[in-house]
Chain A
Amino acid sequence: MMTLDKDNLGELYGRVGVGDQSMLGLMGRNQDISVGEIFMIYSEREGHERVFFFRVLGLQNYLRQVDDIGRIASTLMVEGDSYLSGIDRNKLLSIDGKMLGYAERDAGGDWVFRSPRRLPDHLAEVYRPVPGTSDDAVRDMLASQTGGEVFLGDLQVGEETLDVPVHIPAEFLPMHVGIFGATGSGKSNLMMVLIKSIIDNNMDRLSGESAGRFNVSAFCIDPHDEFAQGVDTYGIQDIVETMDAKTRQEVLGDFYYLTTHLQAAPREVRRYGKELRILWEEIKPQDLYSIMDFTGQMYAFIDMVYSRARGDWIAEILDMDDDPDGTPKGTLRAVQRRLRFVDRSPIFIRSGNSVLGDIFESMETGRILVVNTSLMSDMEQFLLTTVVTRTLSDLRKALKSSGNLGDFDTQAGMRLPSSFFKKVRERARAFYGFGGASDSASVKDPRSLPVLLVTVEEAPSILNPELMRGQSVFKDISRQGRKFNIGLLVISQQVSVLDNVILSQMNTEINLRLGNEREIKACIENASVNISGFQNEFRVMSRGEALVTASYRELPLPVRVPLFDNVFEKDKARYKKKVSGTAAEKHTL
């Protein structure tokens, strides 16, 4: 058994005092400790070498040999000439906190991390991580908790960070990710870092540098149009422009930016942009049911029109003057009122060229799409997200239900608007088939395809209990997305108002600073691992600090998300190299 060099854990800070396997009290030196710091406790009980991870939740000054600190303080006040002799060595900190778990070596000598079910030895030594000293040891011990392809930030140990990058494994993205944070908590920067990480993952896969199993595609809603050009100095556009043409083509394709009015976009962005246009015929009733309330009579009316008119259902309803026979009076007008935003929208068009097919292609080839929704109404944004999500989901579902390409045609034809499927059929067959292009050719397992990540911004508006009770496409995806490798990236300022179905299906939570006590409570209750007792931490979180919890990890990870500008500056050079590998998904049209 290898023995750990304790010097690599950091500086010896204190000793374990009282407590149990979940909460501990430490006694440490009088240092500038902050709530949220992580300490390591070295324990060797009966020859079992373990390093326990402990998170500071509360601090108290403790003076040895002083029973009544109030009396001392008042004496110092009243007797102006008083002093405290040799007090420095007696000044200690009494620290309460939570046991996060422990690392120990398995039979093969590799570090494994376990939930807190044991207690450190009596008076075990407590180490405070020191950046530059502890990084390697912590990285090794927490490898199982921090690994993955999508970089989020660095492990935070109080106000400092260690050089221990924290990732989300791409394979868990289809089990949905939540990003919760109040205004100003750093959500936009986090999204940009995530987009960059996804680009990096895909680029590394293409160059053969990554051992990751998946390309990741992301449909990223950008409500403030800040991802492309960035919040401060750099944005995704800078990554795009730094790449050489071949790498750019391989990694990003022809475009990455979608907007309502392309002419309004800056010229450099425009080159990689497309105008968002979705044909009415590509919208299904279910898309609208997912984003707004309808009465039973309206459902019946819409379903009746849809079964007859199929892709023309919206045009037909909007063109009607009177309620058809058998439809209660007023139903038509009510439905027309609800569809009016579609009629007025520049995105949803009766005829013309749609980008939905291009979106599908981008998503299936492992690309990222930044969708500027700053000029859209809420309903337009929600409908767009829903149509895209449902379309991708329907195609993957059709694939999953098929044994060969012939089956796929049948399944997809049943699920998708026929005009849309006609347009994407060939491309879809190319993506999903292998061993030939005939109808009898086998199809791929959706779980071998790129992970499709769809962001749902302002999630409470569409992922609330009322809408989720109905025929929401998100209810299906939240439950079954993992089968099709489709994940939701739910972004919300509030946790408490989200529907329980979506919350219970979410397996990764990135919890940023939250707005109030109710949200903190909801966030703690919803977390995939036990973070009870972390209330104080949430109250003192700064912008860009996050607590990452995941059902597939034992350790709640405090992470500092770096500024996008900094990570871009750091990695700028790597985008210049040419992608030469062949590990990427190759699709032949």
Chain B
Amino acid sequence: MLERILTKQFRDSLKATFKDIQQQQDIRDEKEFAKDEQRIKEQLLDTVDPFPQDVVFDEDFLVGAVDGSGNDGLALLDDVRVHLFSTACVILSTNTQSSEPFTPLDDTRIEECLGSSQPHLETFWYTGVKDDARRKMAEYIDYISSVSDPLEIVMPFFRDFTRGEIDSWNDLKDSKYAKYLSRLESIQNLISRVNLTNSTIHDQLRTISEYAAARKILDSSIRPKYLLLDGAMSVFIHHIRNYPSMPSGFLLREMCTRARKEGVILCAVSKTHTIPFAHRIAQMAADVFGETSKWFCQLPGSEDPGGGLHITQSRTYIPPMLAVPYLFSFSRDNRPSRIDFDRIWWLENIFVENDPIATRENEKALFRELEYMSRDARWYGYPVPLAVAHEQCKISYQDIRLAREICWDVRQEMGMDERRMEPQRTDFNL
């Protein structure tokens, strides 16, 4: 293959691809972005006013973070697949009064409060037998989320989505969703996506594992001011039924409801994202505020004053349903990151109707605290609680290799047929 990759022909092929992208997409995006430029510069973009280095808060607060990792091929026994999931919950205290910012809470205390030591490992398996994946996923979700009644996780979505018009099961019966009631009564039926590939199953269960871990923090006696999740608050909606196509969507909304109830600010941070023209917004911020500025920029949706951005109009996933995304940069050395907030919380706590100045003040106060939690020299510009959670939960190639060896060991210990675990062919690797 290498001889092909090194040919001029391959280079020409790449040139043609990039030319196509430029002509078909970039030019169109440029035009759309040009329409947004003025608005972004004057209304949506603003600086963060950082706390001084030696700030001492009147009241220090806790910040929680959850991250997860996993592998969809811990073991393959014919058509039985074993997945591995890890999650890590961390709680850090701002601790400005002791001049030791963001000291992690003692592991023992976290274990006491959450009921399990961190990081946490789980395995999951399913077979190629028809509908087995769906059934096993439901069992796993039931187990990991400790959901006693599916309605408990279903209703928060409808309440938020309909802004309270549907508040109960009876309301649901009288709504356009009445015909789907039976599909909403069991977790297995909440999995309405048709094509469940191994990768889809893995991603769904990994997200759910993280949400379940976050719910444990919300249910615990720890009362963090912020709870940070890794990723976006995207919910994929079934295009016919008009509700989430997977249980994770329901669980996210249920978690948002709990967070609001507990007074916890829930945020989802993505350092890798697909927000178009983020680099141009970053350049704009550098031009307006200076190279070293720390800034944020809301990415409004159609419901927001002034409506959505032209550049995101044809991208239906931005902003996500029931979420408010922002771009932010606290470090000149990195690409801007994205952060999503629960829209219901945002409307209640940040947005002030007809008062953009008050809204901006609220935003600045919010990002000021987020910036303060993003100054760790190891991950400068990225919230340290999430970075610590990531460090704790990540499963490296070495880890997974070792985990597989232990799988092998355990099967031998149990007297099982080890040949089932052997790779199909060891003479070449396709």
Contact = CB atoms under 8 A, between A and B. Distances in A.
Most B CB contacts (10 A, CB to CB) among A76, A86, A89 go to A86
Most A CB contacts (10 A, CB to CB) among B376, B384, B391 go to B376
Given A65-B391, A76-B377, A79-B375, A85 B53 contact: no
Contacts of B388: 85-86
B378 interface: yes
Nearest to B55: A81
A75 interface: yes
A76 B388 CA distance: 18
Interface in B331-380: 331, 375-378, 380
Contacts of B102: 83, 85-86
Contacts of A375: none
B155 interface: no
Contacts of A107: none
Contact of B380 (A65, A66, A82, A88): A82
Contacts of A108: none
Contacts of B92: 85-86
B13 to A, nearest CB: 36
Contacts of A86: 92, 102-104, 388
B25 to A, nearest CB: 35
A82 B375 contact: yes
Contact of A79 (B100, B104, B331): B331
A81 B384 contact: no
Given A65-B378, A66-B378, A79-B331, A85 B104 contact: yes
B73 interface: no
Most B CB contacts (10 A, CB to CB) among A65, A66, A79, A85 go to A85
Contact of A84 (B50, B53, B331, B378): B378
A536 B30 CA distance: 64
A298 B103 CA distance: 85
Contacts of A66: 378
Contacts of B378: 65-66, 72, 75, 84
A80 interface: yes
B105 to A, nearest CB: 9
A234 B101 CA distance: 56
Given A65-B378, A65-B391, A72-B378, A81 B50 contact: yes
Contacts of B376: 82-85
B402 to A, nearest CB: 15
Interface string A57-73: 00000000110000010
Contacts of A72: 377-378
Nearest to B294: A81
Contacts, number: 45
Contacts of B375: 79, 81-83
Contacts of B331: 79
Interface in B1-58: 50, 52-53
Given A81-B50, A82-B375, A85-B102, A75 B380 contact: yes
Contacts of B104: 85-86, 89
Interface string B312-327: 0000000000000000
A79 B377 contact: yes
Contacts of B380: 75, 79, 82
A82 B380 CA distance: 7
A82 B50 contact: no
Size bracket of the B interface: 10 to 19
B9 to A, nearest CB: 38
Interface in B376-398: 376-378, 380, 384, 388, 391
Contacts of B53: 80-81
A252 B19 CA distance: 104
A72 B180 CA distance: 54
Contacts of A89: 104
Nearest to B374: A82
A85 B384 contact: yes
A75 B332 CA distance: 12
B384 to A, nearest CB: 5
B329 to A, nearest CB: 13
B228 to A, nearest CB: 14
Interface string B101-139: 111100000000000000000000000000000000000
A82 B391 contact: no
A75 B50 CA distance: 17
Nearest to A89: B104
Interface in A74-116: 75-76, 79-86, 88-89
B377 A84 contact: yes
A66 B376 CA distance: 12
B100 to A, nearest CB: 8
Nearest to B394: A65
A85 B103 contact: yes
Nearest to A83: B101
A79 B391 CA distance: 22
B64 to A, nearest CB: 14
A422 B102 CA distance: 91
A86 B90 CA distance: 12
Interface in A159-211: none
Contacts of A79: 331, 375, 377, 380
A295 to B, nearest CB: 75
A63 to B, nearest CB: 8
A431 B388 CA distance: 81
Nearest to A64: B391
Nearest to A88: B100
A189 to B, nearest CB: 46
Contacts of B391: 65
Contacts of A80: 53
A525 B213 CA distance: 62
A12 B25 CA distance: 63
A86 B388 CA distance: 10
Contacts of B384: 85
A72 to B, nearest CB: 5
Contacts of A75: 377-378, 380
Contacts of A82: 375-377, 380
Interface in B168-222: none
B101 A85 contact: yes
A204 to B, nearest CB: 56
Contacts of B100: 88
B101 to A, nearest CB: 5
B370 to A, nearest CB: 14
B330 to A, nearest CB: 10
Contacts of B50: 81
A510 to B, nearest CB: 48
A32 B27 CA distance: 62
A455 B381 CA distance: 70
A404 to B, nearest CB: 79
B75 to A, nearest CB: 27
Nearest to B376: A85
A350 B380 CA distance: 89
Nearest to A81: B53
A64 to B, nearest CB: 9
Most B CB contacts (10 A, CB to CB) among A66, A81, A84, A89 go to A81
A438 B384 CA distance: 96
Contacts of A81: 50, 52-53, 375
Nearest to A79: B380
Contacts of A88: 100
A589 to B, nearest CB: 80
26 contacts: A65-B391, A66-B378, A72-B377, A72-B378, A79-B331, A79-B377, A80-B53, A81-B52, A81-B53, A81-B375, A82-B375, A82-B376, A82-B377, A82-B380, A83-B102, A83-B377, A84-B377, A84-B378, A85-B101, A85-B103, A85-B388, A86-B92, A86-B102, A86-B103, A86-B104, A88-B100
Give the top 7 A-B pairs by smallest Cβ distance, nearest first.
Answer: A85-B102, A75-B377, A82-B377, A86-B104, A81-B53, A76-B377, A85-B384
Given A76-B377, A84-B376, 13 more contacts: A65-B378, A65-B391, A66-B378, A72-B378, A75-B377, A79-B375, A79-B377, A79-B380, A83-B376, A85-B101, A85-B102, A86-B103, A86-B104
